[in-house]
């Protein structure tokens, strides 16, 4: 299973974290610090797998962002690389040429997409189209709810 | 707000902005502001991601979740998952909301709830909500089903007992057409199999064929743009199916048979130019390796791995090395074929690959290929970088130790390693080297010359210096006289002063540490006896350390100095060659076994002259005494010398500051006498087991050499030593004629030991009413002209005897029979009547 997902940029700032196994707040920050250190110091030609505390960490760099996922010893690392790529493609599809700023200002949306992709540390859906559809549907629900709320608000104001 | 935070230039500014925002949010929370709650929470989440504490927001999450609006629920659940973790109690409050949401009509809300549950539920929540999840596994909407499946995985992980409930629904999932559900279903089944053996059986029987068929369908399916990744349809599904098949096939021949075809098909047909294809192949190989044997498939798998190994992509090579390590247990031959490639990988620039390759090489080494492989590794040692050197050195050393075909090769290789990376070599390793050297008596000359040469070139490697110094001290004369030249050596001429030079260098170097200096001092002492012409010079060098700040060095130099000056006559005897250290014992000791035995062959005694009472004699024995204890020099002694030599257990034994003492030989005889309970047994036939361990006087008797003297640590009553050798010794024992024992109730006192220096007398008595116990009073009389101080007597007995030592009457034994010390011992024979206490 995937234990956690961390996104950070070249300066070490964390853009997104998702934890699928239990780590306390203190442990989380410690882990983040350690891993960012290790990953940022690896050269470009080295392989994308790092052994860490008995677990494997698979990381991939996309432009200025490092996507890392920590998996068990018996998981398939190459597959995890594919999962990371899957996620990035989803983000790209959703945000239309995603960049780091998108992720900063719309972090909640990034989380929603991740939630449709992974659950309980396992892959949920392999079809990008389906994921896109689901997220779009939920977004439209939010939109409708907001519209209704603002309509109601207008009505109330008019009534007063 | 985010813009504001990003606009901050310094950390302090950022903290200020964040604090203001937090204050605003807290105020809003207090006012129970409904409209902006979700925005506040979003802000809070951002702040949390920056690393600031956000506990006050947790209740907000709950309120949002409880609201009926979808957007608010969405943000609420997100906040829940982000800000809280499983261990917080607040989580329990959510259970009710979760339950309601799981029953909601809106599938997205159900989805949200499942998501939250799946990511952070605790064991109690899992138990409460498991039935709901089970029901949802059969929901009409496939998305909900897949979420429910993954949620079930989490529940099973938290509460394995609930696994049974999920078996049936999970099996149903396997027949789905929707890929998402299929993937999650397969994953659920895999986890179920891991969690419960029943599930494993069930799935094995019912579902294996279905799975194989599904995999076939997926592998053969035409192009489907929705699932296509790099030309392969849904590689994720492939991989999950392969994994499940692996779990089902492991250990079960029938299931494995069913899978053979499809595995072969996948292995051959999958393209491997893209990562997805490689991932599938990797999984396939792993599955083949784990299921029951099928020769053809295995060959196929190893070929694939071979291809991976020569791939230029680092990831692939890493993965291949990983797999090969597992493959070695299965088929070592095949892996040997790829040895050359693996060796290449050891030199790769990527640290992870290097580590993996090194481990693999270590597993691959056997007697036939050890020489070339070690050569390669040592060559690489020279060019490797610092962090790697430590690992590499440790591995090389253990390799050499395990597989060396002959001693000379072992010594050679170890010398090379020491010259290159001596500083990384652990203590046990060079101790072992010394043991081996001392055992290879024909190679002494060769070794010492090689060491001398090595020392010329690489004097900064600490361990090398230590080993060299020891050898030069021991075998210095061989060095100078070129004794025992082997054919392959070039002759070198080393004069005595050269040898002394080099040791002086070792002492004077400011980078030498304490151990090295101490060892050098001893080596100098040895040399002073072996090279009498340099005696003056050596004395000077030693004297220079008299004022050294470190106690150990100071003490040694003073004592050695006095030996050189005043005790010329005994000096040569003191520094005679050390007897061979026994390897078997050493290895056994190193492996952590009982340190008490010293095997018979390693003579416990040094051929030291009788009557040397001088405490300073002891340090000689202390040649490798690395314990650097503060006890006065006499601490080490014959009985313990092996221990000291190896210094491996820095045990308190070496701290026993007794000076001499009786060699146990005497007491052996004595113990004969203790076989008083039994009908007359010739003394010589009953090997005495009770030995006083330790401080073993320098008895001149050669037979002492064969005495196995177990060194009992701190008077523990243990002597696993075979009693047999004793018997022989007794016969050969000169100075203490065995006395026939008396059967009667009168027990004569026995002179347990007598030599020019010491006499020990044992008086026996049996306390009335307790035939099992024998009370011995030992009297020690000093026959030599000097005073023994810190005299300690210790004894050891075999297991069925119990020994109790009373404290001695005094510790100082005045000279020439002027006074004596008495000490009482009580021996209890628990097997009284059955086994004589011999």
Q: How many CB atoms lie within 10 A of CB B680?
A: 10
In a domain, B794, yes or no: yes
Please list every residue in chain B whose beta carbon sits closer than 8 Å to the beta carbon of residue A111.
78, 81-82
- Is residue A72 within 8 A of residue A56, CB to CB? The reply is yes
Shortest Cα distance, chain B CAs vs residue A48, angstroms: 6
The C-alpha of A42 sits at a distance from chain B's nearest C-alpha, in angstroms, of 9
Query: Which of B171, B195, B219 represents a domain boundary (last residue)?
Result: B195
Residues B621 and B636: their CA atoms lie apart, in Å, by: 7
Looking at residue B745, what is its pLDDT?
A: 41
* Chain A neighbors of B391, CB-CB under 8 A: none
pLDDT at B422 exceeding the cut of 60:
yes
The reply to whether A86 touches chain B by the CB within 8 Å rule is yes
Select from B638, B644, B646 the least CA-distant residue to B617.
Answer: B638
φ/ψ (deg, to 5) at B469:
-60, -45
CB contact under 8 A, A22 and B87: yes
Higher pLDDT pick, A134 / B678: A134
Q: How far is A22 from chain B (nearest CA, A)?
A: 7
Contact (CB<8Å) A16/B49: yes
Question: In terms of pLDDT, which residue wins out, B656 or B20?
Answer: B20
* Measured distance CA(A154)–CA(B146) in Å, rounded: 40
Q: Confidence band (pLDDT; 50, 70, 90) for B309?
A: confident
Question: What digits encode the pLDDT tens for the residues B505-524?
Answer: 777 776 667 777 777 777 77
Distance CA B102, CA B277 (A): 39
Give CA–CA dist B766/B154, Å, rounded: 73
- pLDDT reported for residue B666: 36
**Residues of A with Cβ-Cβ distance to B2 under 8 angstroms:** 104-105
Instruction: Report the candidate in B310, B247, B301, B226 with the shortest Cα–Cα distance to residue B270.
Output: B301
Q: Which of B590, B624, B640 is the last residue of a domain?
A: B590
Q: Are B523 and B470 in contact (CB under 8 A)?
A: yes
**Amino acid B616: pLDDT:** 35
pLDDT surpassing 60 at residue B621:
no
Partner-chain contact B74 A138, CB within 8 Å: yes
Which residues of B are less than 8 Å from A85 in CB distance?
A: 275
Instruction: Please state, in angstroms and rounded to a whole number, the distance separating the CA atoms of residues B408 and B411.
Output: 5
**pLDDT category of residue B769 using cuts at 50, 70 and 90:** low
pLDDT at B742 over 50: no
Read off the CATH number of the domain in which B174 is found: 1.25.10.10
Chain A positions in Cβ-Cβ contact with residue B187 (cut-off 8 Å)? 122-123
Bridge-based pairing of strands A122-123 and A118-119 is antiparallel
pLDDT of residue B656: 34
Would the CB atoms of B75 and A108 count as touching at under 8 Å?
yes
* Tokens found for residue B723: 């009693």
Model pLDDT, residue B708: 33
Asked whether residue B426 is assigned to any structural domain, the reply reads yes
- The pLDDT tens digits of the residues spanning B528-566 come to 777 777 777 777 777 777 777 777 777 877 887 777 777
Q: Residue B459 domain-assigned?
A: yes
Give the position of tokens 């709650």: B37
Which residues from A are below 8 Å from B276, CB to CB? Answer: 82
Please tell me the least confidently modeled range out of B325-339, B358-372, B490-504, B697-711: B697-711
Pick the CATH number of A2-159 from 3.40.50.620, 3.30.450.60, 3.90.550.10, 3.40.1050.10: 3.30.450.60
> Could you state, in order of their start, the residue ranges of all structural domains in chain A?
2-159
Average pLDDT over residues B631-649: 36
Nearest CB to B108; choose among A24, A127, A137: A137
> B277 near B232, Cβ under 8 Å?
yes
pLDDT value for B800: 62
Residue B94 lies in a domain: no
Do the Cβ atoms of A49 and B108 come within 8 Å? no
Shortest CA distance from A27: residue in chain B: B85
Asked if pLDDT for residue A78 goes beyond 60, the answer is yes
Rounded to whole angstroms, what are the CA distances from B11 to A37, B18, B74, B234?
A: 20, 10, 32, 46
One domain, residues B79 and B139: no
The rounded Cα B374 to chain-centroid distance in angstroms is 22
The distance from CA B184 to its chain's CA centroid, rounded to whole angstroms, is 41
Instruction: Say if residue B456 is in the same domain as residue B540.
Output: yes
Which residues are A14's β-sheet partners?
Answer: A8
pLDDT of residue B485: 60
Q: What is the pLDDT of residue B662?
A: 35
C-alpha closest to that of B619 among B638, B596, B594? B638
CB neighbour list of residue B80: distance below 8 Å, 6 or more residues apart: B61, B62, B65, B94, B116, B120
**Nearest alpha carbon to residue B738 among B681, B776, B700:** B681
pLDDT at A70: 92
Q: Are residues B13 and B146 in the same domain?
A: no
**pLDDT mean over B161-186:** 83
Residue of chain A whose alpha carbon sits nearest to that of B283: A76
A 10 A CB-CB count for B386 gives 8
Nearest by CB to A76, which of B119, B151, B282?
Answer: B282
User: Which range among B356-365, B671-680, B829-838 has the greatest average pLDDT?
Assistant: B356-365
Question: How many domains does one find in chain B?
Answer: 4
Say whether A49 and B352 touch across the interface (CB within 8 A).
yes
Q: Who has greater pLDDT, B167 or B636?
A: B167
Q: What is the pLDDT of residue B487?
A: 60
Quick check: is B133 in a domain?
yes
Top-ranked range on mean pLDDT: pick from B7-16, B251-260, B709-718: B251-260
A52/B contact by beta carbon, under 8 A:
no
B70, B146, B317 ranked by CB distance to A145: nearest: B70
Contact state of A127 with B351 under an 8 Å Cβ cutoff: no
- Higher-confidence residue of B353 and B620: namely B353
**Backbone phi, psi, residue B796, to 5°:** -135, 150
Q: Is residue B254 part of a domain?
A: no
pLDDT in tens, B431-441: 777 777 777 77
Q: Which residue of chain A comes nearest to B88, CA vs CA? A: A24
Contact residues, chain A, for B266 at CB < 8 Å: none
Higher pLDDT, B756 or B776: B776
Residue B631 predicted with pLDDT over 70: no
pLDDT of B637 higher than 50: no
Contacts of residue A127 in chain B, CB cutoff 8 Å?
179-180, 226-227, 234
Helices vs. strands in chain A: H and E counts, helices first: 5, 7
Closest CA to A98 of A83, A108, A88, A109: A88
Give dist(CA B447, CA B569) in Å, integer. Answer: 30
B352 with A108: Cβ contact below 8 A = no
Task: Identify the H or E element spanning B525.
Answer: helix B514-530
Percent of chain B at pLDDT exceeding 90: 0
**Do the chains contact at B82 and A111, CB–CB below 8 Å?**
yes
Enumerate the residues of chain A whose CB falls inside 8 A of the CB of residue B184: 122-124
- Are B32 and B113 within one domain? no
DSSP, residue by residue, B692-710? --S-------GGGGG----
Residue B672, domain member (yes or no): no
- Label residue B482 left, alpha or beta by phi (over 0 means left) and psi (-120 to 50 means alpha): left
CATH number at residue B787: 2.60.40.1230
Q: Is the model's pLDDT at B686 over the cut of 60? A: no
Residue A68's pLDDT band (boundaries 50, 70, 90)? very high
Residues on chain B touching A82 (C-beta within 8 angstroms): 229, 235-236, 275-276, 279
- Same domain? B436 vs B579: yes
Chain B environment of A121 (Cβ under 8 Å): 154
Q: Which of residues 103-142 of A touch B (CB under 8 A)?
A: 104-105, 107-108, 111-112, 115, 119-130, 134, 137-138, 141-142
The predicted model gives B156-169 an average pLDDT of: 84
Per-residue model confidence as pLDDT tens digits over B319-377: 888 888 877 777 777 777 777 777 777 777 777 787 778 777 777 777 777 777 777 77
The partner residues of B829 in beta bridges, in order of sequence, read B801
- 3-state SS, B342-356, equals HHHHHCCCCHHHHHH
Give the pLDDT band (50/70/90) at residue B7: low
Concatenated DSSP letters for B760-785? EEEEEE--TT-TTEEEEEEEEEE-SS
A14: its two tokens: 């964390």
Predicted pLDDT of residue B14: 75
Q: How far is B2 from chain A (nearest CA, A)?
A: 7
Residue of B nearest to A102 (CA): B2
**Mean pLDDT value across chain B:** 67
Say whether both B517 and B415 belong to one domain. yes
The shortest C-alpha distance from B105 to chain A (Å) reads: 14
**Smallest Cα distance from B115 to chain A, Å:** 7
The CA-based dihedral angle spanning residues B461, B462, B468, B471, taken in that order and rounded to the nearest 10 degrees: -160
Q: Show the 3-state SS of A54-78.
A: CEEEEEEEECCEEEEEEECCCCCHH
**In chain A, which residue's Cα lies nearest the Cα of B280?**
A79
Query: Does residue B723 lie within any of the structural domains?
Result: no
Q: Which two structure tokens, joined as six digits, stand for B766? A: 């049996």
Q: What is the pLDDT of residues B282-306, one digit of tens each?
A: 888 888 888 776 777 888 888 888 8
Q: Which residue intervals of A12-106 are DSSP H helices? A: 25-40, 77-95, 100-105
pLDDT value, residue B783? 63
Mean pLDDT score across all residues of chain A: 87
Beta-bridge partner residues of B802: B828
DSSP track, B781-810: EE-SSS-B-S-----B--TTEEEEEPPPS-
pLDDT at B168: 83
Tell me, what's the ipTM? 0.89
The answer to whether A119 contacts B237, with C-beta atoms less than 8 Å apart, is no
Contact A122 B187 (CB under 8 A): yes
Helix or strand (DSSP H, E) at A3 = strand A2-9
Cβ distance B236 to A126 less than 8 Å, yes or no, reads yes
Chain-chain contact of A126 with B42 (C-beta, under 8 angstroms): no
With CA atoms as reference, report the closest residue to B377 among B363, B392, B355.
Answer: B392
- Least Cα distance to B109 among B79, B51, B57, B66 occurs for B66
> How far is the alpha carbon of A135 from chain B, nearest alpha carbon, in Å?
10
Q: Judge whether residue B718 has pLDDT over 70.
A: no
Report whether B365 contacts B403 (CB < 8 A): yes
CB-nearest to B352 from A50, A121, A129 is A50
Residue B79's nearest CA partner among B94, B68, B95, B89 is B94
Tokens at A76, concatenated: 């398939």
Instruction: Please return the burial class of B662, using the count of CB atoms within 10 Å of its CB with bins 0-12, 13-18 and 19+.
Output: buried
Instruction: Please say if the pLDDT value at position A21 is more than 60.
Output: yes
User: Residue range A80-93: average pLDDT?
Assistant: 90
B169-178, B476-485, B692-701: least confident range = B692-701
Ramachandran region of residue B715, left (φ > 0), alpha (ψ -120 to 50) or beta? left
| Structure tokens that stand for B78 in this block | 């997100």
Q: How confident is the model at residue A25 (pLDDT cuts 50, 70, 90)?
A: confident
**B108, A50: Cβ pair inside 8 Å?**
no
Cβ contact (<8 Å) for A142 and B275? no
One DSSP character per residue, B538-591 reads: HHHHHHHGGG-SSHHHHHHHHHHHHHHHH-HHHHHHHTPPPPPPPHHHHHHHHT
User: Where residue B778 falls among pLDDT bands split at 50, 70, 90?
Assistant: low
Distance CA B89, CA B118 (A): 17
Q: What are phi and psi of B332, to 5 degrees?
A: -70, -35
Q: How confident is the model at residue A59 (pLDDT cuts 50, 70, 90)?
A: very high
Using alpha carbons, select from B650, B742, B316, B827 the residue that is nearest to residue A47.
Answer: B316
Task: For an interface test with B, give the residue of A77, A90, A119, A150 to mutate (most B CBs within 10 A).
Answer: A119
Contact A82 B276 (CB under 8 A): yes
pLDDT of residue B652: 34
Chain B nearest C-alpha distance from A4 (Å): 11
A151 touches B at CB < 8 Å: no
Give the strand order in the sheet containing A49-52: A14-19, A2-9, A65-71, A55-62, A49-52
Average pLDDT over residues B202-227: 79
- The pLDDT score that the predictor gives to residue B643 is 36
- Give residue B398's pLDDT: 77
Report the C-alpha gap between B733 and B670 in whole angstroms.
13
Question: If 0-12 CB within 10 Å is exposed, 13-18 middle and 19+ buried, where does residue B738 land?
Answer: buried
Report the percentage of chain B scoring pLDDT > 70.
61
Q: Which among B51, B75, B82 has the least Cβ separation from residue A29?
A: B51
Contact B285, B251 (CB under 8 A): no
On the question of pLDDT at B214 being above 50, the answer is yes
Q: Of the candidates B565, B590, B615, which is a domain's last residue?
A: B590
Place of tokens 């609201």: B67
pLDDT value of residue B93: 78
Asked if A41 is an interface residue toward chain B (Cβ–Cβ < 8 A), one would say no
Task: Compute chain B's Rg from CA coordinates.
Answer: 39
Is pLDDT of B3 > 60? yes
Query: Residue B638 pLDDT > 50, yes or no?
Result: no
pLDDT, mean of residues B199-223: 80
Sort out which chain B residues have CB atoms less than 8 A from A117's CB and list them: none
Residues B433 and B579 in one domain: yes
Q: Which residue has the higher pLDDT, A69 or B496?
A: A69
Q: Is the pLDDT of residue B602 over 60?
A: no
Q: Choose among B147, B283, B314: nearest Cβ to A47.
A: B314
CB pairs under 8 A between A and B: 161
pLDDT at residue B795, rounded to an integer? 64
B829: pLDDT strictly greater than 50? yes
Q: What is the span of the domain harbouring residue B7?
A: 1-84
Question: Is the confidence at residue B64, as pLDDT, over 60?
Answer: yes
Local confidence band at A7 (pLDDT 50, 70, 90 cut-offs): very high
């Amino acid at each position: 299973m995937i234990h956690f997902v961390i996104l950070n940029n070249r300066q070490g700032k964390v853009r997104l974290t998702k934890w699928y196994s239990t780590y306390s707040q203190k442990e989380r920050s410690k882990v983040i610090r350690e891993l960012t250190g290790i990953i940022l110091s690896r050269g470009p030609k080295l392989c994308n797998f790092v052994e860490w505390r008995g677990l494997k960490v698979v990381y991939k760099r996309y432009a200025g962002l490092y996507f890392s996922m920590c998996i068990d010893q018996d998981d398939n690392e190459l597959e995890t690389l594919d999962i990371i790529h899957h996620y990035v493609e989803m983000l790209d599809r959703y945000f239309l040429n995603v960049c780091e700023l998108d992720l900063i200002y719309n972090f909640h949306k990034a989380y929603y997409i991740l939630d449709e992709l992974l659950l309980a540390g396992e892959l949920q859906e392999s079809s990008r189209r389906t994921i896109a559809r689901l997220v779009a549907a939920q977004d439209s629900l939010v939109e409708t709810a907001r519209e209704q709320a603002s309509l109601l608000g207008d009505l109330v104001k008019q009534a007063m | 707000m985010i813009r504001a935070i990003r606009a901050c230039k310094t950390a302090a500014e950022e903290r200020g902005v964040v604090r203001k925002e937090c204050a605003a949010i807290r105020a809003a929370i207090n006012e129970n502001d409904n409209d902006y709650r979700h925005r506040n929470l979003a802000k809070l989440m951002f702040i949390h991601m920056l690393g600031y504490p956000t506990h006050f927001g947790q209740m907000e999450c709950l309120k949002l979740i409880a609201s009926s609006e979808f957007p608010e629920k969405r943000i609420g659940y997100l906040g829940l998952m982000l800000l809280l973790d499983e261990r917080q109690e607040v989580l329990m409050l959510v259970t009710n909301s979760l339950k309601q949401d799981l029953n909601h009509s809106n599938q997205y809300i159900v989805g949200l709830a499942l998501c939250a549950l799946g990511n952070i539920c605790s064991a109690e929540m899992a138990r409460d909500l498991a039935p709901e999840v089970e029901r949802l596994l059969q929901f009409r909407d496939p998305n909900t089903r897949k979420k429910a499946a993954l949620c079930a995985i989490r529940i099973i992980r938290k509460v394995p007992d609930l696994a049974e409930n999920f078996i049936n629904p999970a099996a149903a999932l396997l027949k789905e057409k929707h890929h998402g559900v299929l993937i999650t279903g397969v994953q659920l089944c895999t986890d179920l199999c891991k969690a419960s053996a029943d599930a494993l059986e069930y799935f094995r029987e019912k579902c294996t064929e279905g799975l194989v068929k599904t995999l076939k369908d997926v592998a053969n399916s035409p192009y489907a743009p929705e699932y296509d990744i790099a030309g392969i349809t849904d590689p994720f599904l492939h991989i999950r199916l392969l994994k499940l098949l692996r779990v089902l096939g492991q250990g079960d021949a029938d299931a494995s048979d069913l899978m053979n075809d499809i595995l072969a098909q996948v292995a051959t047909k999958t393209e491997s130019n893209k990562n997805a294809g490689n991932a599938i192949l990797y999984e396939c190989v792993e599955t083949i390796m784990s299921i029951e044997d099928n020769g053809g498939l295995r060959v196929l798998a190893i070929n694939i791995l071979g291809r991976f190994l020569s791939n230029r992509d680092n990831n692939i090579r890493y993965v291949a090395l990983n797999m090969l390590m597992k493959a070695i247990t299965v088929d070592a031959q095949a892996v040997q074929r790829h040895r050359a490639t693996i060796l290449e990988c050891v030199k790769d620039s990527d640290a992870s690959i290097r580590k993996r390759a090194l481990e693999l090489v270590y597993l691959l080494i056997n007697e036939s290929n050890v020489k070339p492989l070690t050569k390669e590794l040592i060559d690489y040692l020279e060019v490797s970088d610092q962090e790697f050197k430590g690992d590499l050195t440790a591995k090389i050393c253990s390799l050499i130790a395990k597989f060396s075909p002959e001693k000379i090769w072992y010594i050679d290789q170890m010398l090379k390693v020491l010259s290159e990376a001596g500083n990384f070599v652990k203590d046990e390793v060079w101790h072992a080297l010394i043991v081996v050297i001392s055992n290879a008596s024909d190679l002494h000359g060769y070794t010492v010359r090689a060491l001398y040469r090595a020392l010329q070139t690489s004097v900064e490697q600490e361990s090398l210096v230590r080993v060299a110094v020891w050898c030069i001290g021991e075998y210095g004369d061989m060095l100078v006289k070129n004794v025992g030249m082997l054919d392959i050596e070039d002759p070198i001429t080393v004069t005595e002063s050269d040898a002394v030079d080099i040791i002086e260098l070792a002492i004077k170097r400011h980078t030498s540490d304490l151990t090295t200096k101490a060892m050098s001092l001893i080596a100098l002492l040895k040399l002073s006896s072996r090279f009498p012409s340099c005696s003056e010079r050596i004395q000077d060098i030693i004297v220079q350390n008299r004022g050294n700040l470190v106690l150990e060095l100071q003490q040694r130099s003073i004592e050695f100095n006095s030996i050189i000056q005043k005790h010329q006559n005994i000096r040569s005897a003191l520094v005679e060659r050390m007897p061979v250290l026994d390897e078997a014992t050493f290895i056994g000791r190193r492996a952590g076994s009982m340190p008490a035995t010293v095997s018979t062959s390693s003579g416990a005694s040094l051929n030291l002259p009788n009557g040397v009472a001088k405490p300073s004699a002891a340090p000689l024995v202390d040649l490798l005494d690395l314990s650097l204890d503060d006890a006065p020099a006499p601490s080490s002694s014959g009985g313990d010398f092996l221990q000291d030599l190896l210094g491996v257990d820095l045990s308190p034994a070496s701290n026993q500051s007794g000076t001499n003492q009786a060699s146990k030989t005497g007491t052996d005889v004595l113990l004969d006498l203790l076989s008083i309970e039994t009908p007359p047994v010739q003394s010589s036939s009953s090997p005495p087991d009770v030995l006083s361990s330790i401080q073993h006087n320098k008895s001149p008797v050669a037979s002492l050499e064969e005495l196995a003297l177990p060194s009992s640590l701190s008077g523990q009553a243990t002597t696993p030593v075979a009693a047999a050798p004793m018997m022989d010794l007794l016969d050969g024992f000169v100075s203490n004629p065995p006395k026939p024992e008396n059967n009667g109730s009168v027990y004569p006192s026995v002179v347990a030991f007598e030599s020019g220096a010491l006499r020990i007398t044992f008086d026996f008595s049996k306390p009335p009413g307790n035939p099992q116990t024998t009370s011995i009073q030992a009297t020690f009389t000093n026959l030599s002209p000097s005073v023994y101080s810190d005299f300690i007597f210790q004894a050891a007995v075999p297991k069925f005897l119990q020994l109790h030592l009373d404290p001695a009457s005094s510790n100082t034994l005045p000279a020439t029979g002027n006074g004596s010390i008495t000490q009482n011992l009580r021996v209890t024979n628990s097997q009284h009547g059955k086994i004589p206490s011999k």
